[in-house]
Amino acid sequence: MKRNSTLPLKFTEVCLRDGSHVMAHQFSEKQVYAAAKALDEAGMHYIEVSHGDGLGGSTLQYGRSLIDEMKLIEIAAGVCKQAKIAVLLLPGIGTVHDLRQARELGASLVRVATHVTEADVSQQHIRIARELGMEVMGFLMMAHSAPVEKLVEQARLMESYGAQGVYVTDSAGAMLPHEVKEKISALRNSLDIEVGFHAHNNLSVAVANTLVAIEEGATRIDGSVRCLGAGAGNTQTEVLLAVLDRMGMETGIDLYRMMDLAEDVIGPMLPGSQEIRKGSLAMGYAGVYSSFLLHAERAGKRFGLDSRDILIELGRRKAVGGQEDLIIEVAAELAKQVKQGV
C-alpha cells in the first residue's frame, strides 16, 4: 500500500473510552490500571480515558460511571511511562472546568467532538486546550451523514480555531470504503493539518475502511482492543496492527503484546462477545450513533418492541449524538402505534 503521507502513523486506543458504552460505564480502578499498564508496555501511542460520552458524561441521561472519570484518568496517567493520555470532550456535555482538571491529572491530548455540521461550537474548547498546552484534535462525528463539501467546510472551521488535526468519525459504522476514500482525500487536499479516522465495525468493514483512510493520508488512527467499543466495536486494534505488519508498515507497537493483552486483560472484562449482532448491524444499516445500542435495547424491553425498529426510526429522524433522550420518545410513539394497529 502506498501511503499519501510521509508523517508517521499515531494510534489512539479507545477501549477505555468508547468501550465504556459496552461496560455500561462501570469500569473499575483495577480494570483501568491493568489495561493502561498493558497498553503502555506494548508501546501504544495514546490511550483515551473518559466516560463513553466524553468528559462530564456521567449523568442520568448518558449513564452514571462506577468510578469518577477524573480518578480513572489519574490512574492511567500514573501507570503509563510512555503512552500519552487522551480524553474526549463534547461541548455541551463536557466543560472547560472538566478539561482543565483532566489536564492537571495528566491528560495531554483532547479530541473536541461535535456533530459533523456543528463545528462552530468547538471554538472555545479548542482555543483553551491549546492555551493549556494540550494536543488538540477536532472530531467530526456522524461523518457519513454530511456531503464532502460540508465535511470540508466544518473541518476548516476547526483548523481555524487551532485544531492540529481533524478526524473523520464514522460514529454509526455506516461508511463504506469508497466513501472513506472520498472524504479522507478531500480533507487531505483541503487542510494543512493532520487527518484522522475513527471507525465502528457495525457493517464489518472497520479494518478495510481504516486501511483506505491510511492509504489516502490519514495519520491519526483509532482502534479498540478486542473490539471493546460501542456497537460492534471499533477497528480491532490488534487485527489492524497484524495487517499493517504483514504489509511491511512499522508502527512501533508490539503485536504479540497487543495480542496477549487482548486475550488476557481485555477479554475477561467483556460482558459479552463483541460480534456483529442484529442491533449493531441495524445501526450500521440505518446510520445510527453507535452508543445508542444499549439504550435502544432497554427501551425495546420496556415497551415490548424490537430494538431494531427503534434504531431504524432514529436513523430516519437523523438522530445525533447527545440525543439519547429521544430514544424513549421514539419507543413510546412506536408502542402507541402498535397498540392502535397503525
Q: What domains, with CATH codes, occur in the chain?
A: 10-269 (3.20.20.70), 291-340 (1.10.8.60)
In angstroms, rounded to a whole number, what is the distance separating the alpha carbons of residues 161 and 186? 19
User: Is the per-residue pLDDT at 67 higher than 90?
Assistant: yes
Which whole-number Å values give the CA distances from 106 to 4, 49, 70, 84, 191, in the listed order? 33, 11, 10, 8, 29
End-to-end CA distance of the chain: 53
DSSP 8-state class, residue 2: -
Q: pLDDT per residue over 124-150, tens digit each?
A: 999 999 999 999 999 999 999 999 999
In angstroms, rounded to a whole number, what is the distance separating the alpha carbons of residues 206 and 61? 28
- Helix (H, G, I), strand (E, B), or coil: what is residue 46? strand
Residues comprising the binding site? 17-18, 171, 198, 200, 289
CA 237 and chain centroid, separation: 13
The pLDDT value given to residue 132? 98
Mean pLDDT of the chain: 95
User: Which band of pLDDT confidence, cut at 50, 70 and 90, is reported for residue 338?
Assistant: confident
In angstroms, rounded to a whole number, what is the distance separating the alpha carbons of residues 329 and 49? 31
Query: What whole-number percentage of the chain has pLDDT above 90?
Result: 81
**Main-chain phi, psi angles of 307, to 5 degrees:** -60, -25
Q: Are 199 and 235 in contact (CB under 8 A)?
A: yes
Q: Are 242 and 248 in contact (CB under 8 A)?
A: no
Mean pLDDT of 290-304: 87
Q: Are 32 and 51 in contact (CB under 8 A)?
A: no
**In the chain, beta strands by DSSP E:** 10-13, 46-48, 84-89, 107-115, 135-141, 165-169, 194-198, 220-223
Residue that has been written with the C-alpha cell 464532502 in this structure: 148
Q: State the catalytic residues.
A: 21
Q: Going by C-beta distance under 8 Å and a sequence separation of 6 or more, which residues neighbour residue 197? A: 167, 168, 169, 170, 180, 184, 209, 210, 213, 214, 218, 220, 221, 222
User: Which band of pLDDT confidence, cut at 50, 70 and 90, is reported for residue 342?
Assistant: low
Mean pLDDT of 107-116: 98
pTM over 0.95: no
User: Is the per-residue pLDDT at 56 higher than 90?
Assistant: yes
CB atoms within 10 A of CB 272: 7
User: Is the per-residue pLDDT at 103 higher than 90?
Assistant: yes
Residues 58/329/288/265 CA torsion (nearest 10 deg):
30
Residues comprising the binding site for Mn(2+)? 18, 198, 200
User: Which band of pLDDT confidence, cut at 50, 70 and 90, is reported for residue 267?
Assistant: very high
Residue 33 C-alpha cell reads as 490500571
